[in-house]
Amino acid sequence: QVQLVESGGGSVQAGGSLRLSCAASGYAFSTYCMGWFRQVPGEERTWVALISGYSTPTVAASVRGRFTISKDNAKNILYLQMASLKPEDTAMYYCAADLTQTWCWEPMQFNYWGQGTQVTVSS
């Protein structure tokens, strides 16, 4: 079955960096759209970055220039490199897979999710 397992979260000071990883299994990893999302308690989950099966990245405006999404198709791992972290980046971060398409076109159907990894940025 499809499994997504995030790791790499933690606590850092503002200006620091973290790299999140998402180990995927149970499907043809290289083929499909994947994404990173984040959620703060009491708020909606929002997308942070997307990457197509062709490795075309899209990054949300709020993190553009600081976050980079990438993937290693040989290892079936999705990454989110986060730099110049700010306190407002504090959230639970989730990876997700849309197994209905290779491109990340609307409407996307992220129906497989990991359990999340917490990122806390202190000022």
In this prediction, what percent of the chain has a pLDDT beyond 90?
98
Query: How, if at all, do strands 77-82 and 18-25 pair?
Result: antiparallel
Per-residue pLDDT, averaged over 7-12, amounts to: 98
pLDDT of residue 107: 86
* Whole-number pLDDT of residue 99: 96
Extract the tokens encoding 91: 């959230």
- Average of per-residue pLDDT across 88-116: 96
Task: For residue 108, give the nearest of 62, 68, 49, 63 by alpha carbon.
Answer: 49
Q: What percent of the chain has pLDDT over 70?
A: 100
Q: Left if phi > 0, otherwise alpha if psi is -120 to 50, otherwise beta: which for 39?
A: beta
Nearby residues of 90 by Cβ (< 8 Å), 6 or more positions away: 40, 119, 120, 121
Average pLDDT over residues 11-35: 97
